Amino acid sequence: MKSVPKLIRRYVGILLLSCILLLVLNVVLLAVFTASQAPNAYPWKTAEEVADALQQTDNGGYTLPDTVSLELKNSNAWAIFIENETKQVQWQTANLPEMIPMSYTLSDIASLTRGYIDGYPTFTGETEDGLIVLGYPKDSFWKHMWPSWDYELIANLPKTALSVLAINAALIFLIYVVANSKLLKSIKPIVNGIQSLPMGESVYIKEKGLLSELAMNINKTSEILQSQNNQLRRKETARANWIAGVSHDIRTPLSMVMGYAGQLRDDTHLTDDERQKAAIIVKQSERMRNLINDLNLASKLEYNMQPVHPKKENMIAVVRQVVVDFINMDMDDKHPIEWETDEALTFCPVNADRDLMKRAIGNLIQNSINHNEQGCNIYVSVTAQNGQCTITVADDGIGATDEQIEKLNKAPHYMVCDENVAEQRHGLGLLIVKQIIAAHGGSSAIEHSAHGGFCVRITLPIQE
């Protein structure tokens, strides 16, 4: 059950990523908001600039440069200058509100420094002779009247902020787990059920919770698959039994036909024409016997009823023995076999059933003989490379078209019945080769021969 933890990790990852992105977004928004407020966020600095720019005239008055005056005007701010000695207003801007006093006490100055004058937020700047006071519109700034903080609070602020952040994250995670626990609890049996379906196991999931409809569909799918598997097993058993029964029933009368035909072929009292006909009967009977044996073997391999007894074999010796047997049987020398294996390669170990491998190689050589009755050269080789033993059987006969080769490589197994019965019959030998090689964990490929005919390559893992 690796899927549910993976799903949980994915959800937790999304949650953490969302929190991080949310935090980053808030920081960015705060920075943007602060930047947008920057032009109006420095009244104390402006007050200092006004105090530095205020100049005394020759007649004892005061004046402010036009650039500073324009800055105050753009901010809708007014300004006054309170002299140290008299505590009276000695200079003011033209836009000073009427209710602003013209004289101040020390307590008034202390109050306006940290607060307001008649609701106007005020900010001060110092000069040698007095105090500059800037006043801004009533709703432009909010001032903290008692700007004092406990030292321990400020010193522990980073730790406190991190603690609050951790508590918030834990609370969000807890809410997430509680909210999704039911969903995760419903997902686990569904994931188990889906994983069991390809294995052919019977699946039943309780149809309740948030995913009850999905559970119901999985249960129906399991029922359909189980029904199909049962029907398929019954058909396969019936087919295998029928093939085995027919093969057994045919062997006895076929043996009698072959025996009597053989006697007639060897009877010197018969004419040559009659003996030739008897020889044809023997030859075709042998072909029927071979077809029956091939069909029976294909059926056993198809349904895993053919026992395989693998052991470490030298495939060079096995293949060479098959080649020698065929060379000895080729009396008319119509199908000469050339051994193209490198003489330096003397050992190619493979974990294989010797008899079945000899049957596979023999089928390939016989296939070249059967489809080239006028004769052809057959080329057999064994190579070892990259941990693979490759056996190649090729000829320079009539070969096959690209379409035929594609069909042979992709054709379904012999037990599938369709309209191309003749093609299935001729492909039985190659089917047995594919099944034998597959039973040994290898692969086979049908292709054009480099000699212009037909070629089959068998690849098997080398046993170290």
Each domain of the chain, given as residue ranges in start order, spans 3-38+151-187, 42-135, 212-302, 311-461
Section 48-70 average pLDDT: 89
Q: What pLDDT is attached to residue 426? A: 45
CA distances from 345 to 174, 312, 384, 389, 457 (A): 69, 17, 8, 11, 18
- Token pair of 422 as six digits: 């003749």
Q: What's the alpha-carbon Rg for the chain, to the nearest Å?
A: 50
Cα separation, 67 vs 53, whole angstroms: 10
Q: What pLDDT is attached to residue 140? A: 86
Higher pLDDT residue, 181 or 20?
A: 20
Least confident span in 19-28, 50-59, 426-435: 426-435
Q: What pLDDT is attached to residue 299? A: 63
Q: What pLDDT is attached to residue 416? A: 42
Q: What pLDDT is attached to residue 390? A: 93
Burial class, 161, CB count within 10 angstroms (exposed 0-12 / middle 13-18 / buried 19+): exposed
Kindly tell me if the per-residue pLDDT of 415 is higher than 50: no
Section 59-83 average pLDDT: 90
Higher pLDDT residue, 413 or 45?
A: 45
What's this model's pTM, rounded to 2 decimal places?
0.45
What is the homologous superfamily of the domain 311-461 according to CATH?
Answer: Histidine kinase-like ATPase, C-terminal domain (3.30.565.10)
Q: What pLDDT is attached to residue 1? A: 47
Q: Which option is the CATH number for 212-302: 2.80.10, 1.10.1200, 1.10.287, 1.20.5?
A: 1.10.287
CA distances from 112 to 89, 104, 124 (A): 14, 10, 8
Q: What pLDDT is attached to residue 244? A: 65
- Token pair of 416 as six digits: 């599938």
Cα separation, 370 vs 358, whole angstroms: 18
Q: What pLDDT is attached to residue 296? A: 66
The model's pLDDT over 311-329, given as tens digits with 9 standing for 90+, comes to: 899 999 999 999 998 888 7
CA distances from 401 to 374, 398, 463 (A): 19, 10, 36
DSSP three-state, residue 331: coil
Least confident span in 105-114, 191-200, 294-303, 394-403: 294-303
Kindly tell me if the per-residue pLDDT of 105 is higher than 70: yes
In the block, tokens 């699946």 appear at 203
Cα separation, 349 vs 463, whole angstroms: 5
136-142's contacts with Cβ under 8 Å and 24+ in sequence apart are 136/43, 136/75, 136/76, 136/77, 137/76, 137/77, 140/40, 140/76, 141/40, 141/43
- Token pair of 75 as six digits: 């901010």
The gap between the terminal CA atoms of the chain, to the nearest Å, is: 35
pLDDT > 90: what percent of the chain? Answer: 22
**Are the CB atoms for 257 and 265 separated by under 8 Å?**
no
Kindly tell me if the per-residue pLDDT of 7 is higher than 70: no
Give which of 127, 121, 136 is closest to 81, Cα–Cα: 127
Burial class, 415, CB count within 10 angstroms (exposed 0-12 / middle 13-18 / buried 19+): middle
| Residues contacting 47, CB < 8 A, separation 6+ | 123, 124, 125, 132, 133, 134
Kindly tell me if the per-residue pLDDT of 444 is higher than 60: yes
Section 98-111 average pLDDT: 92
92-106, 186-200, 328-342: which has the highest mean pLDDT? 92-106
Q: What is the mean pLDDT of the chain?
A: 82
φ and ψ of 81, to 5 deg: -120, 120
- Token pair of 120 as six digits: 């106007």
Q: What pLDDT is attached to residue 300? A: 63
Kindly tell me if the per-residue pLDDT of 410 is higher than 60: yes
Cα separation, 456 vs 427, whole angstroms: 13
Section 243-272 average pLDDT: 78
- Token pair of 395 as six digits: 């000829």
Cα separation, 345 vs 340, whole angstroms: 11
- Token pair of 452 as six digits: 């212009």
Helix (DSSP H) and strand (DSSP E) numbers for the chain: 13, 14
Q: What residue type is assigned to position 62 of the chain?
A: Y
Q: What pLDDT is attached to residue 359? A: 84
Assign 353 a pLDDT band (cuts: 50, 70, 90): confident
CA distances from 305 to 67, 117, 130 (A): 104, 105, 113
Q: Residues for the chain: how many in total?
A: 464
Q: What's the gap between Cα 366 and its chain centre? A: 45
Higher pLDDT residue, 37 or 460?
A: 460
